[in-house]
Amino acid sequence: MPRLSSATALRGPLFTPEATMSLYPHLLDAIVGSLPPDAWDWISTEADLATIRDEQYDEPTPIEEVKPTIESVLTKDKRGYVVMNLWETEQSYVSQLGVIQKVFRQRLLERGIINETISNLIFAGVEELHMFHVRFMESLQQVVSVDSWSTTESRIGALFVAQKAELIKLYTRFIDNYAISQKSMKQAEKNSEEYQAFMKEMVKLRETNRQSLKDLLILPVQRTTRYHLLLRDLLKCTPAEHPDHEDLEQAWEAMNQLAAMVNEKKRREEEATGLFDAFESTKHCPPTLISHQRRLIMRVEATDKSSKRDIQLVLCSDLLMVTIPARSGVFSRSGTDYAYRFVRWLDILELDVTDLATLETGAVKDCLRITLNPAKRPPELPSQSTPAHDISPSVPKELAAPVLVVQFSGQDAGKNRAGFFLAIQAEMKVRRDACEKERAKAAANAAKADQARADRDA
């Protein structure tokens, strides 16, 4: 390669017009060999500044207009935020009812794990609720759509007022069958390994949101309370002159009544089911335990301090049932082992209950003293306590005594003792207050009768 000098006027990324040095051939070969192939394509290092300026100041690309969404339309004020919450939770609720129908019920039937009869017991009322809320969601969608919503004109309360009767009918039916549904699920779980495996499989799926069937079936109960709370919040954000205000007041009152009715029915269903379960699991339990006037309050495990025997206390609204664990191999009416054996009933009108753990002197940890005192019962009422001579001879004599000292144990001993003490005290007060009212009513009726006879005689 010939020797190059500045006279050659190379122009490129490594050279400038001011270069005056001469390059030796071998050094130049080394440099040239290390350069990329296109390094000599440069014509000049002088940039066309005008072109750069033109490129820098081209007109910007126009930004596409963002289309409004339901969220952007609703979330402009407090009222819209509440409606947005209603709309989103209704979507989720409809989806969850669909999961109950299409994932749980349909697959259980398709796989032959349960038959149609059991399916109707477990899922009673769910299909009707799902169909109703799909229609309700469509009506709500029309109100909150981008083209329809107006924070000063749109009406939400009217939707609820129009569907009030249907809501009450559907949720009443669902709650009336809720206890049967729970019992049917419990029996299927006990009797079928396929059912157990299916339920374990379902809680692992994304389409169930990893929720169990029991979790999903409680949602209708919770939804009525949610409506009540959402409508209350919406009413607070709605001025009195708003066209939706009057309907919202009616809707809120209706949902308040519906939520109260649903919760009360659920409570009574659970109490009735609890009584039935206590009866079914207790050998020699008198069938009169089952009564529409009786409520199950709670069941707790304890130990009789005198006999050192484990016992179960079943507190009802009018009596206390004492049971002891049954021997294994003794079968109940439903074919399963009896868990307990009946000992006695104690009328709560005849009881004195003392929390020994709270005594200033002689306190006994986690213990209650239950004393049977028939003199406390109003004389006009019959006793419900089991007479001493009717208590089975096989029962330890300490459990037939008029005084029981029961001790709670375990990690929650203190909590269980306090909870049971407060519960039985509350039921004793309610029972005695009811007796006082009945006595006052009877006295008033007797006085009226005496006055009527005196007026006739006069």
Does the pLDDT at position 153 exceed 70?
yes
Mean pLDDT of the chain: 84
Does the pLDDT at position 3 exceed 60?
no
pLDDT, residue 53, reads 55
Rounded Cα gap, residues 401 and 416, in angstroms: 23
Count CB atoms within 10 A of the CB of residue 424: 20
For range 40-58, the mean pLDDT: 52
pTM of the shown model: 0.62
Summarised one tens digit per residue, pLDDT across range 67-106 is: 778 777 777 888 889 999 999 999 999 999 999 999 999 9
What are the helix and strand counts (H, E) for the chain? 15, 8
Under 8 Å between Cβ of 332 and 326: no
Range name among 13-17, 309-313, 337-341, 353-357 with the lowest pLDDT average: 13-17
Residue 335, CA atoms < 13 Å, CB-side half-sphere: 3
For range 140-152, the mean pLDDT: 86
Taking Cα atoms as reference points, which of 255, 372, 356 lies closest to residue 320?
Answer: 372
Under 8 Å between Cβ of 293 and 272: no
Count CB atoms within 10 A of the CB of residue 346: 23
Residue 408, CA atoms < 13 Å, CB-side half-sphere: 22
**Per residue in 279-305, is it b (16+ CB within 10 Å) or e — as a string?**
bebbbebeeebeeeebbbbebbebbbb
Rounded Cα gap, residues 276 and 279, in angstroms: 5
